[in-house]
Amino acid sequence: MPALARALISGIVCGFAGALAALAVPTGARADEPVQVAVASPPAQLAPPPLTPPPPHRTAARRPPPAREEAVEGEVEGEEPAEGGAPFKDYLRLHAGPLSIEPEVLMQVQAMPYVGADSTLEAGDPADRPGFRFRRARFGFEGRLFHRIPFEINAEFNSDVVTSPGLILHDAWFGYDRFRYVQVFVGTMDVPFSRSALIGAGDGALIERPFAVRAMAPFHQLGARLEGHFFSGGLNYTFGVFNGLERPPSDIFFSGYLENPGFQGNRFEGLTYAGRLTTEPLGPMGRTMEDLHHGKLKIAAGASAFYSNGGTVGAVGLGGDVLLHFRGLHVLGEFLANRTSPTLQPTQPTNQSAVRQSYGGVAEAGYLILKERLGVTVRFERIVPNTQSAGSVGDPGDSWIVTGGVSYHLLNDFLKAQLDYTHREELHGPTLKNDSVVIQAQLNL
């Protein structure tokens, strides 16, 4: 790295640390009483400063417990070692006594040179017309206190929120993970359901998660969760209780479930109970869906379920998934099923008037042609939004979808460029012109 770039990075990190130290000084502190803040700045050879090894129970706070099924003792999720050095994120981490904290940033900018004339955001398509789209802009912090209390808080502008796009709370949780067998977390976090939903928004092999997952997985809700890990990741469990699930008033299948941070309490929803069992018998799978580092054979499997007695609709979900990594190859298989039914006295407006059973299947395979650099992936989905559709016409959303993409990674996967092509084929009714080509540039810290 050129000397000017090193100096610039050191200056930014030191300035950030100084600001944090100023905020941390008590009101009555003496002017000559120094505040101890240690900042890890990269030396000329990019060799990191000495760090105290994390305790065996330490895991990352980048995502709440669901992602922790990929972590093992002594490893910190989301940090891949640079060639000849330690994890690059060590340079961004600040230490102030018992507190360790680092920034979290995710920006995704998309360009769509082609979008079919029948494409709509409400149907899960990337846009209504060709052009540019700011997919996400997220900023926050993750950290750990006294080596026992992980926490994370961030907010983002997310264009998934079609009804009222704007700044929303994404993650806001903390927990106590002193013991691997029993750990507790509270706040707004991932509901433990679906491997593709628990993979970070910037860590997938393709630009977007599968259509079926976006439509049937609950994603973030406010609640509490209990989890544990046995046999070095050979068996992991997660169980949580959250506010009840609701669907948008339009009840469009591909719009998925609403995410409610719960600032006004649980006004119109009931409760959701969710659980997940996973196993990684050959070691942790890592943070990303792709096998970026051409590692040895690893396999993971999971089974998930949730029940929600929402005030507007009741919902039951089941899911199962298998993921394999081997020398740059990744293979994913996932199945999801939902059953939703309207309540007799709905607390919110809804267009759903009958029981709906839905299922979706996902098969994905990809290969890193150049280790830690260039990858290709193809995904096939089969979606049935409503098995209860009357007559032989079938549901108009019944379809199969093929997505193929290329990804290129830079700077320890902090920068990534992707290009995806998606073809959707409707099995009932007229064929829609809703294919798309999407190019995405991503910054992910």
Question: Which candidate, 281, 287, 170, places its Cα nearest to that of 220?
Answer: 170
pLDDT digits (tens, 9 = 90+) for 291-333: 999 999 999 999 999 999 877 888 999 999 999 999 999 999 9
Beta strands 94-96 and 38-39 are antiparallel
How far apart (Å, rounded) are the C-alpha atoms in residues 303 and 301? 7
Encoding tokens for residue 20?
Answer: 């944090």
pLDDT digits (tens, 9 = 90+) for 22-45: 434 443 433 344 444 444 444 444
Encoding tokens for residue 296?
Answer: 């040895």
Beta strands 399-410 and 415-426 are antiparallel
User: What pLDDT, on a 0 to 100 scale, did the predictor assign at position 73?
Assistant: 38
User: What pLDDT, on a 0 to 100 scale, did the predictor assign at position 255?
Assistant: 86
Q: Contacts by 203-206 with C-beta closer than 8 Å and gap 24+?
A: 203/287, 203/288, 203/289, 203/444, 204/288, 204/289, 205/288, 205/289, 205/290, 205/330, 205/364, 205/366, 205/375, 205/377, 205/405, 205/407, 206/364, 206/377, 206/379, 206/403, 206/405, 206/407, 206/418, 206/420
Q: Which residues of 364-386 are buried (b: 16+ CB within 10 A; e: fewer)?
A: bbbbbeeebeebebebebbbbbb
How far apart (Å, rounded) are the C-alpha atoms in residues 34 and 346? 59
Asked if residue 164 has pLDDT above 60, the reply is no
* Tokens 């008590």, located at residue: 26
User: What pLDDT, on a 0 to 100 scale, did the predictor assign at position 393?
Assistant: 58
Tell me what the mean pLDDT of segment 210-214 comes to: 95
How far apart (Å, rounded) are the C-alpha atoms in residues 214 and 209? 7
Res. 11 pLDDT band, cuts 50 70 90: low
Encoding tokens for residue 66?
Answer: 């669901």
Coil, strand or helix: which one is 71? Answer: coil
Cβ 207 vs Cβ 379: under 8 Å: no
Cβ 22 vs Cβ 16: under 8 Å: no
User: What pLDDT, on a 0 to 100 scale, did the predictor assign at position 333?
Assistant: 98
Q: Which residues pair with 173 in a beta bridge?
A: 152, 187
Percent of the chain whose pLDDT exceeds 70: 76
What CA–CA distances, in Å, run from 65 to 188, 233, 330, 375? 12, 13, 23, 28
Q: Of 167-171, 189-193, 251-255, 310-314, where does the model show the most confidence?
A: 189-193
DSSP 125-185: -S-SSSEEEEEEEEEEEEEEETTTEEEEEEEEEETT--SS-SEEEEEEEEEE-SSSSSEEE
Residue 338's Cβ-count burial label (10 Å; 0-12, 13-18, 19+) is buried
How far apart (Å, rounded) are the C-alpha atoms in residues 424 and 403? 9
pLDDT digits (tens, 9 = 90+) for 224-258: 999 999 999 999 999 999 999 988 877 788 888 98
How far apart (Å, rounded) are the C-alpha atoms in residues 250 and 271? 22
What CA–CA distances, in Å, run from 108 to 63, 71, 115? 18, 26, 18
Residues across the chain: 445
Give CATH for domain 40-444. 2.40.160.10
How far apart (Å, rounded) are the C-alpha atoms in residues 337 and 30? 62
Question: Which candidate, 170, 190, 165, 176, places its Cα nearest to that of 67?
Answer: 190
Every domain of the chain and the residues it spans: 40-444
Summary mean pLDDT of the chain: 81
Question: Which candidate, 37, 36, 83, 75, places its Cα nearest to that of 58?
Answer: 75
Specify the higher pLDDT residue, 21 or 349.
349
